């Protein structure tokens, strides 16, 4: 019935809660429940988010709080997150990029003077260089098709790669992606079912700026995971569906692709010996010139500690041309999984020549910050 019910209850602090999908009220102070401090809570999709009866309370912090929003640090009084706020106050605007609306939220005789634009947890989450929808609780029904919509982040990130969540036991992936607005226009195309088939990489890294809205077109294949909602709020911002056309030509306005944009640190031979810093969940791609037709190849002879950095897939070779004996590059990818310091070493050698020194050595120390 109620998410939170205060009955003749005074002088409490109510903070850090989420009241969602209740048949009556998200929060209901009643019968002389006075002087409670109610802030940093989420009230989401309740029949009525709040009802106050014979009670007078404070609906925002009484002291300024320091938090992070949009990639910057702010200090402000903070209220609560109210779903459908924009429907109630369509003319409301953000105050100076701080993540707080400029119009107070009315609660009978009281007001939340500093209503939050996103879920309260987002103001205190560690800054990550990713945008991640995560996996939906129920990804089915799943079908490939073309997603069109918009993305708006609450913090600035650098992007080099798009990961697509596949349904279990399938090859769900993205075949083509385009991100654009008036100042940006980038595309990427899938390279097929190699060891890295669930990722699609852009030719160059680019920046998605907090508060800016970007259009996206994502064309998927096989059976990718799908959020069956018209709009999705994540820790890092919003993803909105404009249109999804499935492989059978049917149109929907409530399909969000389950994806992750992230930045991949890319190294070459020029970075040999350089200490590299990564954030948890960040990807590392090493690209080294090679020609396996000569018998030489790159091998990981000293792997990193697995609780810090883990290899993803096998070492891959991409020739420069289709001619027999062509040289090219070998690539090896790692993912940062936990904080700590480790190192990795690769040999360029003929594996059977065990008593011969390697032709080249690639060695880097790696620090992963939690």
The predicted-structure confidence for 306-346, as pLDDT tens digits, reads as follows: 999 999 888 888 888 888 888 999 999 898 989 999 999 99
Please report the pLDDT score of residue 128 as a whole number. 64
Average pLDDT over residues 198-222: 90
- In 185-290, the DSSP E strands lie at 185-189, 199-208, 213-221, 226-227, 231-234, 237-246, 251-252, 256-257, 259-262, 264-267, 276-279, 283-290
Q: Which fold has domain 264-369?
A: Immunoglobulin-like (2.60.40)
Average pLDDT over residues 23-31: 91
Please report the pLDDT score of residue 137 as a whole number. 83
- 268, two tokens: 């070459």
Average pLDDT over residues 242-270: 93
pTM, entire model: 0.55
Please report the pLDDT score of residue 272 as a whole number. 95
Higher pLDDT residue, 39 or 209? 39
Averaged confidence pLDDT in the chain? 91
Burial of 204 (0-12, 13-18, 19+ CB in 10 A): exposed
The percent of residues above 70 in pLDDT, for the chain, comes to 98
Confidence of residue 71 (pLDDT cuts 50, 70, 90): low
Confidence of residue 268 (pLDDT cuts 50, 70, 90): very high
CB 118 within 8 A of CB 101: no
Please report the pLDDT score of residue 73 as a whole number. 82
Please report the pLDDT score of residue 254 as a whole number. 96
Please report the pLDDT score of residue 263 as a whole number. 81
Average pLDDT over residues 23-29: 92
> Is the pLDDT confidence value at 185 over 80?
yes
Identical topology for domains 130-262 and 264-369: no
> Is the pLDDT confidence value at 195 over 80?
no
**Local structure of residue 101 (DSSP, 8 states):** B
pLDDT tens digits, one per residue of 105-155: 999 889 999 999 988 887 886 556 789 998 998 888 999 999 999 999 887
Counting every residue written for the chain, the total comes to: 370
Please report the pLDDT score of residue 97 as a whole number. 85
d(CA 315, CA 326): 17
Average pLDDT over residues 34-46: 94
Please report the pLDDT score of residue 177 as a whole number. 98
Average pLDDT over residues 290-317: 92
Confidence of residue 167 (pLDDT cuts 50, 70, 90): very high
Please report the pLDDT score of residue 262 as a whole number. 86
d(CA 161, CA 200): 6
The CATH class of 130-262 is mainly beta
Average pLDDT over residues 38-55: 92
Please report the pLDDT score of residue 125 as a whole number. 66
9-22 in b/e form (b: 16+ CB < 10 A) is beeeebeebebeeb
**HEC profile of 42-77:** EEECCCEEECCCCCCCECCCCCCEEEEECCEEEEEC
What is the secondary structure of 76-100 as a DSSP string? E----EETTHHHH-TT--BSTTSSB
Worst-scoring range by mean pLDDT, 19-28, 70-79, 87-96, 352-361? 70-79
Give the domain ranges of the chain: 2-123, 130-262, 264-369
């Amino acid at each position: 019935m109620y998410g939170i019910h205060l009955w003749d209850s005074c002088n409490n602090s109510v903070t850090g809660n989420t009241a969602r999908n209740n048949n009556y009220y998200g929060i209901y102070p009643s019968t002389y429940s006075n002087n409670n401090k109610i802030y940093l809570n989420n009230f989401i999709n309740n029949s009525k988010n709040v009802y106050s009866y014979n009670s007078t309370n404070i609906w925002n912090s009484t002291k300024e709080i320091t938090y992070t929003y949009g990639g910057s640090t702010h200090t402000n009084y903070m209220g609560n997150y109210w779903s459908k706020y924009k429907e109630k106050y369509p003319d409301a605007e953000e105050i100076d990029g701080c993540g707080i609306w400029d119009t107070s939220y009315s609660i009978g005789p009281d007001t939340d003077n500093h209503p939050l634009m996103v879920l309260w947890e987002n103001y205190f989450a560690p800054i990550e260089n990713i945008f991640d929808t995560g996996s939906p609780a129920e990804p089915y029904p799943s079908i490939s098709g073309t997603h069109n919509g918009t993305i708006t982040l609450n913090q600035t990130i650098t992007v080099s790669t798009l990961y697509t969540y596949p349904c279990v036991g399938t090859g769900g992936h993205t075949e083509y992606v385009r991100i654009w607005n008036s100042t940006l226009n980038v595309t990427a195309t899938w390279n097929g079912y190699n060891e890295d088939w669930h990722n699609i990489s852009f030719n160059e890294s680019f920046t998605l700026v907090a508060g800016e809205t970007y259009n996206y077109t994502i064309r998927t294949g096989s059976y990718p995971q799908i959020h069956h909602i018209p709009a999705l709020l994540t820790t890092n911002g919003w993803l909105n569906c404009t249109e999804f056309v499935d492989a059978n030509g049917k149109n929907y306005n409530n399909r969000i692709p389950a994806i992750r944009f992230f930045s991949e640190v890319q190294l070459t031979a020029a970075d040999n010996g350089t200490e590299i810093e990564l954030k948890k969940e960040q990807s590392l791609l090493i690209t080294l010139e090679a020609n396996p037709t000569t018998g030489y190849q790159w091998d990981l002879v000293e792997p990193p500690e697995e609780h810090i950095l883990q290899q993803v897939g096998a070492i891959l070779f991409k020739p420069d041309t289709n001619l027999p004996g062509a040289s090219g590059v070998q690539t090896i990818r790692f993912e940062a999984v936990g904080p700590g310091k480790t190192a990795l070493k690769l040999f360029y050698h003929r594996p059977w020549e065990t008593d011969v020194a390697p032709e080249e050595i690639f060695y880097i120390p790696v620090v992963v910050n939690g």
